[in-house]
Amino acid sequence: MSRRELDGEDPDRLYTLTRGRSRADAPDLDIVTLIVANADPQPGMQSEYVKILRMCRAPVAVVEISAALGLPVGVVKILLSDLLGSGVVTARHPSSARAGARLPDAEILRKVLVGLHNL
């Protein structure tokens, strides 16, 4: 997001959306964390929550939610933290998928890098 786009955003609106919070309660949310809805939107929910739940019927990355809503990632993380706390969404962290995977040898990665530089 460019500085000009953020300058056009109403800070009062963002303050209202987050209820004055500047940090998410779930600090382990990353921009590539996949979010999946576990429930349908309920009547009386904040409109941003409804949009997130509808969007996340299939796994969606935090950064994609931010782009679709036109909100800063930090604000989206706070909203997602609320939804995670109420149990209506789940988060699939990319690090948990790699926990059992073996990383490639550093020497092989160096050789690949040298090969790419030689192209």
Structural domains in the chain, CATH included, are 3-118 (3.90.930)
4, 6, 8, 10, 112 from 1: Cα distances, Å = 8, 7, 11, 15, 33
pLDDT single digits (tens) 4-60: 455 555 666 665 665 556 566 666 788 888 999 998 888 888 888 889 999 989 999
How far from each other are the two terminal CA atoms of the chain, in whole angstroms?
A: 33
Give the tens place of pLDDT for each residue, 67-91: 998 888 888 888 888 888 888 888 8
Residue written as token pair 């950064």: 63
For 19-65, strand residue ranges (E) read 34-37, 60-61
Residue scoring higher pLDDT (1 or 47):
47
Tell me the whole-structure pTM to 2 decimals. Answer: 0.65
